[in-house]
Amino acid sequence: MYLQTLKLTQFKNYAGRSFDFNARFNVITGNNGVGKTNLLDAVYVLCMTKSFFGGADKNLMQKDTNFARVAGTYRLEEGMKQLDVVAKIIKQKKKTFEINGKVYDRLLEHVGRLPVVMIAPDDTLIATGGSEERRKFADNTLSQKNPKYLEALVRYNRLLKQRNALLKGKSGWLDMSLLQSYNEYMVEPAEYIFAARKAWTGELTPLFNEYYGLISGEREAVRIEYKSPLLEDSFALLLDKALEKDKILERTTVGIHRDDFVFYMDDMPLKRFASQGQRKSFVIALKLAQYQFLAKASPERPILLMDDIFDKLDSGRVANLVEVIGQSAFGQVFITDTHPTRVSELLNIPHQVITVW
């Protein structure tokens, strides 16, 4: 799969501009602040229905405008079919997505159809931030692979919000019958998410180890460990055991929303002992492993978006990384760089250079 053309109208800093892309490798160059990252985010929006950076949809519109439009034409590997995808963001209206002229009833239906992986500077938070960052990474991957996972996640989060509201608003009295109903409805999606995350960790780990070794030159040994309260007990039993604590704290204290993925380098916690370059290499290897995990699960190879990835990497790791992503295992790649010729000098395959201003 590759993105053939892209047209932006009043999207972030682009009043109106069209792009034609190489099916394999595209280098986006330009000074800081000219819109290189915004261009990658537009591609991400077309694939995932939302910005990579989160926030309200109104932030996708150019300042002092009341709508934005992103349109792209994709070529699929399977039968070389063409897909025309259009995202429309209109002020104070529901965002809409069209594929070949047909509007989706639910945006969730689009997630996973056009798989995508984005690597950005703030991704180091996956290694250094709280557990929520690592769960978001897992959820992003599994939601693109499996629509049932995304449905289970949406359902669990909705029930969790309702259960927490009940605990917080008890006013001295708690409706135990309603609480028990929430407990029962949460079990199925929680157990499904737990099983999917556990299996995913096992599948991702060898891919991750391979890519970290290629980028780092086999300098360090790395591993991932999945931490979940459901490894110890069933979710139903965990909720029963935590009832009194939940009442006191007025929130749900156990469940898959407390899961974490602990990262190690040479058997030491990555957070505490790794250098900035090692952390960045670690996260890039995670994202490349995510790419191959999705590629195996889909008839279409994902699009790989790489934004400002060279900061904090030494020259050896930069050269290793460019060599890795230049291999045939990857499909269409977009990479931004303020240096106009650095990537071109390292690449030995045909590519297109696009300058934004």
Supply the CATH number for residue 27's domain: 3.40.50.300
- For residue 158, the SS3 value is helix
| CATH, residue 177 | 1.20.1050.90
Residue 184 shares a structural domain with residue 313: no
Neighbours of 136 (CB within 10 A): 14
248: Cβ–Cβ under 8 A, 6 or more apart, which residues? none
Residue 88 shares a structural domain with residue 135: no
Residue 108 shares a structural domain with residue 133: no
Residue 278 shares a structural domain with residue 168: yes
Q: What pLDDT, on the 0 to 100 scale, is given for residue 225? A: 96
Residue 167 shares a structural domain with residue 283: yes
Given 266, 293, 320, the domain boundary residue is: 293
Residue 275 shares a structural domain with residue 156: yes
Residue 287 shares a structural domain with residue 302: no
Token digits for 37? 């990252």
Number of domains composing the chain: 2
Q: What pLDDT, on the 0 to 100 scale, is given for residue 216? A: 87
Q: What pLDDT, on the 0 to 100 scale, is given for residue 298? A: 86
Range of the domain at 12: 1-115+298-357
Please report, for residues 105, 238, 347, the alpha-carbon distance to residue 175 in angstroms, rounded to integers and kept in the order given: 35, 19, 64
Residue 145 shares a structural domain with residue 36: no
Given 269, 293, 317, the domain boundary residue is: 293
Q: What pLDDT, on the 0 to 100 scale, is given for residue 79? A: 65
Residue 131 shares a structural domain with residue 244: yes
Instruction: Answer for the pair 163, 182: CB distance below 8 angstroms, yes or no.
Output: yes
Residue 280 shares a structural domain with residue 304: no
Helix%, strand%, coil% for the chain, nearest 5:
45, 20, 30
Given 293, 314, 335, the domain boundary residue is: 293
Q: What pLDDT, on the 0 to 100 scale, is given for residue 309? A: 85
The region, left, alpha or beta by phi > 0 then psi within -120 to 50, assigned to residue 54 is left
Q: What pLDDT, on the 0 to 100 scale, is given for residue 33? A: 87
Residue 149 shares a structural domain with residue 230: yes
Q: What pLDDT, on the 0 to 100 scale, is given for residue 306? A: 95
Residue 169 shares a structural domain with residue 264: yes
Q: What pLDDT, on the 0 to 100 scale, is given for residue 277? A: 86
How does DSSP assign 165-212, residue by residue? HHHHT-TT---HHHHHHHHHHHHHHHHHHHHHHHHHHHHHHHHHHHHH
Ordered per-residue pLDDT tens for the chain, 357 residues: 999 999 999 999 999 999 999 999 999 999 888 999 999 999 999 999 999 999 999 999 999 999 999 999 999 876 668 999 999 999 989 999 999 999 999 999 999 999 999 999 899 999 999 999 999 999 999 999 999 999 999 999 999 999 999 999 877 789 999 999 999 999 999 999 999 999 999 999 999 999 999 998 888 889 999 999 999 999 999 999 999 999 999 999 999 999 999 999 988 999 888 888 888 899 999 999 999 999 998 888 999 999 988 887 888 888 888 888 888 789 999 999 888 888 888 888 878 988 897
Q: From CA 120, how far away is CA 295, in angstroms rounded?
A: 20
